[in-house]
Structure 1
Amino acid sequence: MRTRLRRSLRTRLALLAGIAMLLLNVVVSGFVMFGIHDDVADVRASDVSGRALRVLLMVKRNQLPQVLEPLGLDGIQVVDPAGRAVAWTPNLAGAPRQTAHIPRDQANYVSRSCDLPAFPGRCELVVALRAYQPEGTWIIYAFDPAVPWFVSPQVVLFQIVVSALLVGLTFFGVSRVVARTLAPVSAITKRLAEITADGGGLRVPVPDTDDEIRALAETANQTLERLETARARLEAAMEQQRRFAGDASHDLRSPITAMRAQVEEAMLHPEETDWRETSTQVLASLDRLQAIVTDLLTLTKLDAGAPSDHRPVDLGELVTAETARPRAKRVVTGPEEGVVVMGDRLQLTRLLTNLLDNAERHAETQVTVTVRQEGGRAVLEVLDDGAGIEPAHRELVFQRFTRLDDSRNRDAGGTGLGLPIAREIATAHHGTLTIEDSPKGARFVLRLPLA
């Protein structure tokens, strides 16, 4: 039960509201009793005074008997001018004077006295009336129970009943309001509990109210949507990683298999083998293997976000330096001076080299490299005069270990990682590398933020 109370927000709030209402009723009841106590006491004093007035009239008419009727009071005692008790009700017969309170400047006097001789252990309301006679002043004392602090048991009972009703209504009302308020939360909790790893597309219900719970539901749905997107991206990345691992294994196995075959064939016929030619073939396979491993290491560093030294790099100067080396195809440059970007010079050199190598393998006679500023960005273009790339295949060439059929036929020695590495370097420098339309050949366009 205690565990349930700790876990139930509805019950706890209802209990707190009930306790608050109970405390409020106690305070209000105290003020009410304090307010009506004096009024009830005044009414009681007026009633006692009215009954004692009958005895005063008897004194005025000289018709006072020694034994008086109680008149519904606890007692009546008449004191003559000499201070002697001369008349009384039967319960005060022979009793001494009960009190010495004497009204002086007024005709009557009301007081509250406790432990009087005839009323031990009790508090009495004492009303004293002054009767003026020729022989002196007579005093009529009337006694009746004093009004207690709680006024009467009926008032206490009424207060208890009212408080109980208010506390019960408060508990019930708050419980209902909290239950209706938290009903959407329960629905959200239930729906979230139904979501599993394969539960894509599920959303929590959004209540019609415009409050914090609606904001919670909308935020939960946005979070679920982001999680689904992240899961889709993760699955795509894992699938790409699996394909990458498979393609890497295949591309690594090819030169290893070739070297093994060459060595085994040479060992079968050692006396007939041209070891220089065999060594040349093995070295070629080793070069290919080394190129693949180097590219794999480069991609791993780029994927891991390895820190690089970004400094101002003049793209025109970089192009001039890299194109000065002799190549199999003619390279025409048109660099613009003062096109400076912030980047890692070694990585940008690797990007340009990969683009030049790719263009050289596919160009017929010429490769054109230009550098310029355009729209507040640095633009580097590498254009070859080869067959070009179909628009449908322009993104495929940036996938790892992807080579188009024509490319495979013309360039069996490529690793299939040059262009993916170039794009990763562009992305790491907050730029883009795309293939755009050209009249002839493939036109690779690199855009980087200016320094």
Structure 2
Amino acid sequence: MRRDWSVRARMTVLAGVVMALLCTTFCALILVGAYQDATEDRADRILRVKLRVLPLLLRDRLPPVLPELGIVALQVVGPTGRVVAANSRMTGKPRMASFVPPEEFSPKGGVVCGTPKPDACVIVVGLRVHAHGDHWIIYGAEPVVPPYVHHFLLAALLGGSALLVGVTAVGTYRTVGKTLVPIEAMRAELAEITSTDPGRRVPVPEHHDEIRQLAEIVNQTLDRLEAALQRERRFAYDASHDLRSPITAMRTQVEEALLHPKEADWPATADALLDSLHRLQAIVTNLLELARVDAGGVDLGERVDLSELADSELARRVRRARVVADPQPDVVVTADRLQLARLIANLLDNAERHATSTVTVSVRREGGDAVLEVGDDGPGISPDQREYVFQRFARLEAARSKDQGGTGLGLAIARGIAERHGGTLTIEDSERGARFVARIPIRDPDETEESG
């Protein structure tokens, strides 16, 4: 099975390779410079030796065998092209080079192989001089400089490079290891967090760096997940409780009727069962609607006249309270018609259940928003309870004692629809009763499609 390298191993190898490349480059530059310097030094040394031979030539005291002056090969070529003097290594050997310096006292050099040994190459420098009325050439040679210049230099460069690569690899391995310690701690903690223990959090490093920011973001995400889990648990509890109530009532009614079937009032029992079924159906329908809103199942591409939609909703319902409507014309939004109709219906249902006698509805344009207000003249909602009523299955027992037909989901659904359209649904101050205000941004269809 293929096993990927760890981050520490990959970073160590990468750092080692990069350092090796850098060392190779610098070593090559050093060797090239040292090679050039060594070559020039040998050429200068050859030239100095030839200058020591020059006085012998000018005084006509040139011996056939030249003294050993510290270089490998030394020859003096006469005007006829014959070797007239040489050191002991070059005695009896032919002329070591054929090139002729172009000017007097202007040295010329080159590499020649086969002199003084057949398998050796040397650096030859020639010097053209004028003596005794004619031109003479003095050749001197030294072994060529090897590419590595000197084995001590090569060993020093290789040893230093190996040391640098090793130090870099070890340093990278340890540094990355220390860097990954808090990440490993976060990984271990995350691996142990379960739905039964959502309150645990990953450790936050002391240093203010990117890893600390990562730990803080992870903890913030865990906070949101824990809050969502608590909401889901509370929602499941409330849903099961609200679903159990009508089911229990139906079962009790049926069991009582079956105990005395001849004495039971079956039409009344059927009516009671229908009431419980209506409530059960309302709860299930609202749960499905909540699931759809949470899943984002909203089509924001239709242009909807909010005033016309509010009039249509008012016209089709049986009034349980007097309605005072004041919709301004041509308040058009880009939205999902069915979802906005559900928002208006939920607000109207809530207002009619709690109104003493009157429900007020108004639609207007305010800046860049379409504003829908639905109010009632009921007991109202205290400021500290205004957010609570938008929670799922929330009910205010004291202030909403008349709420016998609600499921506790209508306002949560209405707010979800408003927020899905980029708007808000809040409860604002009023002289009497509760005043729900929904604000929906007025946007063009193209802008809505881009934002969605």
- State the TM-score, normalized to the length of structure 2: 0.75
Corresponding residue number in structure 2 for 1:35: 40
Q: Percent identity among equivalent residues?
A: 42
Corresponding residue number in structure 1 for 2:359: 367
Provide the C-alpha distance between the structure 2 equivalents of 1:398 and 1:90, rounded to a whole number of angstroms.
Answer: 113
1:368 touches 1:384 (CA, 8 Å); kept in 2? yes
Deviation at 1:181, TM superposition (A): 9.0
Matches within 5 A, 1:154-303: 156-157=149-150, 160-162=151-153, 164-165=155-156, 186-195=177-186, 196-197=189-190, 198-200=200-202, 202-203=204-205, 205-206=207-208, 217-218=209-210, 220-303=211-294
Change (3 A) 1:69 1:295: closer
Provide the C-alpha distance between the structure 1 equivalents of 2:310 and 2:97, rounded to a whole number of angstroms.
Answer: 122
Which moves more between the two structures, 326-335 or 221-230?
A: 221-230
Corresponding residue number in structure 1 for 2:407: 415
Deviation at 1:20, TM superposition (A): 1.4
> Of 34, 46, 53, which residue of structure 2 is paired with 1:48?
53
Provide the C-alpha distance between the structure 1 equivalents of 2:359 and 2:77, rounded to a whole number of angstroms.
Answer: 139
Provide the C-alpha distance between the structure 2 equivalents of 1:10 and 1:333, rounded to a whole number of angstroms.
Answer: 75
1:371 touches 1:379 (CA, 8 Å); kept in 2? yes
1:52 touches 1:141 (CA, 8 Å); kept in 2? no
1:146 aligns with 2:141: yes
Corresponding residue number in structure 2 for 1:376: 368
Provide the C-alpha distance between the structure 2 equivalents of 1:298 and 1:82, rounded to a whole number of angstroms.
Answer: 116
Indicate the SS of the match to 1:405. Answer: coil
Matches within 5 A, 1:322-337: 322-324=313-315, 325-337=317-329
Change (3 A) 1:190 1:79: closer
Provide the C-alpha distance between the structure 1 equivalents of 2:152 and 2:96, rounded to a whole number of angstroms.
Answer: 43
Change (3 A) 1:23 1:4: farther
Change (3 A) 1:42 1:277: same
Deviation at 1:174, TM superposition (A): 8.0
Provide the C-alpha distance between the structure 2 equivalents of 1:235 and 1:87, rounded to a whole number of angstroms.
Answer: 101
Deviation at 1:402, TM superposition (A): 0.9
- State the TM-score, normalized to the length of structure 1: 0.76
Q: Deviations over 1:272-327 (max 9, x none)?
A: 00111011001111111111111111111111111426422222222222223331
Provide the C-alpha distance between the structure 2 equivalents of 1:338 and 1:91, rounded to a whole number of angstroms.
Answer: 115
Letter in 2 for 1:256: I
CA RMSD of aligned residues (A): 4.6
Deviation at 1:187, TM superposition (A): 4.1
1:17 touches 1:170 (CA, 8 Å); kept in 2? no
1:187 touches 1:204 (CA, 8 Å); kept in 2? no
Corresponding residue number in structure 1 for 2:337: 345
Q: Deviations over 1:243-285 (max 9, x none)?
A: 1111111111111111111111111101100111011001111
Corresponding residue number in structure 1 for 2:5: none
Q: Deviations over 1:335-367 (max 9, x none)?
A: 111211122222111111111111111111111
Provide the C-alpha distance between the structure 2 equivalents of 1:100 and 1:441, rounded to a whole number of angstroms.
Answer: 120
1:188 touches 1:205 (CA, 8 Å); kept in 2? no
Indicate the SS of the match to 2:142. Answer: coil
